[in-house]
Protein backbone atom coordinates (compact mmCIF):
# COMPACT_ATOMS: atom_id res chain seq x y z
CA UNK A 1 0.00 0.00 0.00
CA UNK A 2 1.39 3.37 -1.00
CA UNK A 3 1.48 6.04 1.73
CA UNK A 4 -0.86 9.01 1.28
CA UNK A 5 1.72 11.43 2.58
CA UNK A 6 3.77 11.70 5.74
CA UNK A 7 3.41 13.26 9.16
CA UNK A 8 6.24 14.57 11.31
CA UNK A 9 5.34 14.46 15.01
CA UNK A 10 7.41 16.81 17.14
CA UNK A 11 6.92 16.63 20.91
CA UNK A 12 8.97 18.93 23.13
CA UNK A 13 9.31 20.62 26.48
CA UNK A 14 10.42 24.25 26.65
CA UNK A 15 13.30 24.91 29.02
CA UNK A 16 11.51 28.17 29.97
CA UNK A 17 7.71 28.32 29.58
CA UNK A 18 7.56 31.96 28.48
CA UNK A 19 10.65 32.28 26.31
CA UNK A 20 10.11 35.29 24.03
CA UNK A 21 13.05 34.45 21.73
CA UNK A 22 11.56 30.98 21.20
CA UNK A 23 8.13 32.34 20.26
CA UNK A 24 9.65 34.86 17.82
CA UNK A 25 11.75 32.12 16.20
CA UNK A 26 8.71 29.80 15.98
CA UNK A 27 6.68 32.50 14.22
CA UNK A 28 9.42 33.07 11.64
CA UNK A 29 9.85 29.31 11.13
CA UNK A 30 6.10 28.81 10.64
CA UNK A 31 6.01 31.47 7.88
CA UNK A 32 8.92 29.80 6.08
CA UNK A 33 7.70 26.20 6.32
CA UNK A 34 4.35 27.06 4.72
CA UNK A 35 6.23 28.07 1.55
CA UNK A 36 8.20 24.82 1.24
CA UNK A 37 7.57 22.44 -1.67
CA UNK A 38 5.58 19.43 -0.51
CA UNK A 39 4.32 21.04 2.71
CA UNK A 40 0.64 20.24 3.23
CA UNK A 41 -0.23 21.73 6.60
CA UNK A 42 0.42 21.86 10.32
CA UNK A 43 -1.34 21.50 13.67
CA UNK A 44 0.27 22.68 16.88
CA UNK A 45 -0.53 22.85 20.58
CA UNK A 46 1.38 23.92 23.71
CA UNK A 47 0.01 23.41 27.22
CA UNK A 48 0.47 25.89 30.11
CA UNK A 49 3.42 23.86 31.46
CA UNK A 50 5.35 24.38 28.21
CA UNK A 51 4.95 20.93 26.66
CA UNK A 52 4.27 21.21 22.95
CA UNK A 53 3.11 18.93 20.17
CA UNK A 54 3.29 19.82 16.48
CA UNK A 55 2.29 17.66 13.53
CA UNK A 56 3.40 18.77 10.09
CA UNK A 57 2.09 17.04 6.96
CA UNK A 58 4.17 16.42 3.83
CA UNK A 59 3.72 14.96 0.37
CA UNK A 60 6.92 12.90 0.49
CA UNK A 61 9.98 11.89 2.48
CA UNK A 62 12.04 13.95 0.02
CA UNK A 63 10.05 17.07 0.96
CA UNK A 64 10.73 16.38 4.65
CA UNK A 65 14.45 15.88 3.95
CA UNK A 66 14.57 19.15 1.96
CA UNK A 67 13.01 21.06 4.88
CA UNK A 68 15.38 19.40 7.35
CA UNK A 69 18.33 20.86 5.38
CA UNK A 70 16.83 24.38 5.04
CA UNK A 71 19.13 27.00 6.62
CA UNK A 72 16.44 28.53 8.85
CA UNK A 73 15.37 25.08 10.04
CA UNK A 74 19.01 24.19 10.75
CA UNK A 75 19.32 27.36 12.83
CA UNK A 76 16.09 26.47 14.67
CA UNK A 77 17.40 22.99 15.43
CA UNK A 78 20.59 24.45 16.87
CA UNK A 79 18.64 27.03 18.90
CA UNK A 80 16.32 24.32 20.20
CA UNK A 81 19.15 22.04 21.34
CA UNK A 82 21.24 24.83 22.85
CA UNK A 83 18.57 27.01 24.48
CA UNK A 84 14.88 26.40 23.89
CA UNK A 85 14.17 22.78 24.80
CA UNK A 86 14.66 20.69 27.92
CA UNK A 87 13.95 17.71 25.63
CA UNK A 88 12.27 16.82 22.35
CA UNK A 89 11.22 13.76 20.38
CA UNK A 90 10.62 13.59 16.63
CA UNK A 91 8.81 10.85 14.73
CA UNK A 92 8.19 10.51 10.98
CA UNK A 93 5.10 8.48 10.10
CA UNK A 94 3.57 7.30 6.83
CA UNK A 95 -0.12 8.14 6.48
CA UNK A 96 -1.92 5.08 5.17
CA UNK A 97 -5.52 6.21 5.60
CA UNK A 98 -7.38 9.40 6.31
CA UNK A 99 -11.01 9.96 7.32
CA UNK A 100 -13.02 13.14 7.61
CA UNK A 101 -16.24 14.10 9.33
CA UNK A 102 -18.04 17.42 9.23
CA UNK A 103 -21.34 17.90 11.00
CA UNK A 104 -23.94 19.45 8.73
CA UNK A 105 -25.76 22.46 10.08
| pLDDT tens track for 31-64 | 999 999 999 999 999 999 989 999 999 999 999 9
User: Domain-by-domain residue ranges, the chain?
Assistant: 6-94
CATH architecture of 6-94: 2-Layer Sandwich (3.30)
Q: In terms of pTM, does the model score above 0.85?
A: yes
Q: Would you say 37 and 91 are in contact if contact means Cβ atoms under 8 Å apart? A: no
| pLDDT tens track for 55-101 | 999 999 999 999 999 999 999 999 999 989 999 999 999 999 988 89
Fill in the DSSP letter of residue 35: T
Fill in the DSSP letter of residue 19: -
CA–CA separation, 76 and 28 (whole Å): 10
Q: Is the pLDDT at 1 greater than 70, yes or no? A: no
Amino acid sequence: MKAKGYAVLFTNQLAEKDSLPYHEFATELHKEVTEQPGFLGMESYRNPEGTGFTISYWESKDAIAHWEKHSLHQAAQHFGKEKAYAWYKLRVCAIEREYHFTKSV
